[in-house]
Amino acid sequence: MARLFGTDGVRGLANQDITAELALDLSVAAAHVLAEVGEFNGHRPVAVVGRDPRASGEFLSAATMAGLASAGVDVRDAGVLPTPAIAYLVAEQRADLGAMLSASHNPMADNGIKFFARGGQKLADELEDAIEQRLGEQWQRPTGAGVGRITPLADGADRYVTHLLSVLPHRLDGLRIVLDAAHGAASVVAPQAFAEAGAEVTVIGNEPDGININDGFGSTHLDRLQAEVVKIGADFGLAFDGDADRCLAVDGTGTIVDGDQIMAILALRMKEQGVLRGDTLVATVMSNLGMIQALDSAGIKVVQTSVGDRYVLESMKNGGYSLGGEQSGHVVMLDHGTTGDGTLTGLMLASRVAETRRTLTELAAVMRHFPQVLINVKDVDKSRLDACMAVADAVRSAEAELGQTGRVLLRKSGTEPVIRVMVEAEDVDQAQLIAGRLVDVVKAELAL
């Protein structure tokens, strides 16, 4: 059977894959596993639970809290808040665990559950595996005063915003910023945080109704933000996803500033301030070659990982690094949080604009974008990719043709019979030509 926990918790279609029964059972199992490894020794356990605004989060968070309370855990219900806010509150409240109900940038019909350990840290893989193995087991239920109590954590948003502002290096006075909250969890905190930091804020995608999350707004739909920035003459705009753990930007001309550019800007600022540990940025293999070259010329090393924020975070912790992230705008700053934080990323980017008095266009120009062509080759036997000499020869030939001016990457999908072919080159026509040749070889050699 496939592992229930993915790279970002358990996720699927709400009320079919992700049911109230599953949320309750997962919560009970999580409480039992953490208790058995000694996380609750000597005290009554406490959990913080939050969700994004999607409708299914209402019954799923209720089921999650019911499961925890039935296992003797006192629950603090934080309501609708970003994922990084729940991670922060787990640490700030000195809670023993946390749970977030969200499917991030996925469509409204999806949902998921993610657990945090003490300190707001992601659960270790072995703990997730243990939770999965304990689903549905028979157990001795507490009664009377032994059951957990559920109380609201009414000031969670204010606590989180106070934290964000406390780490902001420069106020935002004089900046005119458009925020796109994706009709998601950012609606609760981002406008408040940016306004209190001094910015003049215009907000779109800020009317969550449980149904409209990520629907035509947010980091996966930037056209409305681009239009609004240009229309009102704003300095720039920032877009979040449904649970506000990622952030993308558009400059004053409406041009997209992606996660690679944002990371480059932040890395240079942190190196300048002496807080970029190891003078190193952690990014995935999908990050643009232009970013790597720009940072290399500034004396900043880029460590690359497999695609997925969990791999970025693992590499950061293992190497003791302070900044990492993905092209998608999922940026982790371990000095200030334990997970990707879109609101924090946006504030730090805005702070750099205010501090330097340079436009976002100027700051983003620190790197050039090499054209990337990505083609998904479907219905292939991905298990034979690594051993296929014909494909390996084609890749070597492509790499020799590109030299130092591009690169080739072939990746196997984790869930489908798909191989992703990515080619990066100085010229988009060259990238498309080489990618097409590689696709032909992959199809010919690995077709099912």
How far apart are the C-alpha atoms of 350 and 393, rounded to whole Å? 46
232 to 238, 258, 349, 381: CA distances (angstroms) = 14, 22, 20, 51
Q: Beta-carbon neighbour count of residue 231 at 10 Å?
A: 11
Task: Give every CB contact of residue 438 below 8 A, 6+ residues apart in sequence.
Answer: 391, 394, 395, 398, 408, 410, 421, 423
Cβ(115)–Cβ(132) under 8 Å?
A: no
**Catalytic option among 104, 315, 322, 328:** 104
Within a 13 Å sphere around the CA of 167, how many CA atoms are in the beta-carbon half?
A: 17
Which residues are CB-contacts of 234 (< 8 A; sequence separation ≥ 6)? 176, 177, 178, 202, 228, 252
Question: Active site includes 104?
Answer: yes
The Cα–Cα gap between 252 and 359 comes to 8
* C-alpha span between 388 and 386 (Å, rounded): 6
What is the DSSP secondary structure assignment for residue 72, as one 8-state letter?
Answer: T
Collect all residues with Cβ–Cβ distance below 8 Å to 420 and sequence separation of at least 6.
Answer: 374, 375, 376, 377, 409, 410, 411, 412, 413
**Residues 239 and 218: beta-carbon distance below 8 Å:** yes
Amino acid present at 391: V
CA atoms within 13 A on the CB side of 107: 4
Radius of gyration of the chain (CA): 23
Residues 6+ apart with CB under 8 A from 108: 54, 55, 210, 211, 212, 213, 214, 215
| Burial class of residue 340, CB neighbours in 10 A (0-12, 13-18, 19+) | buried
Catalytic residues: 104
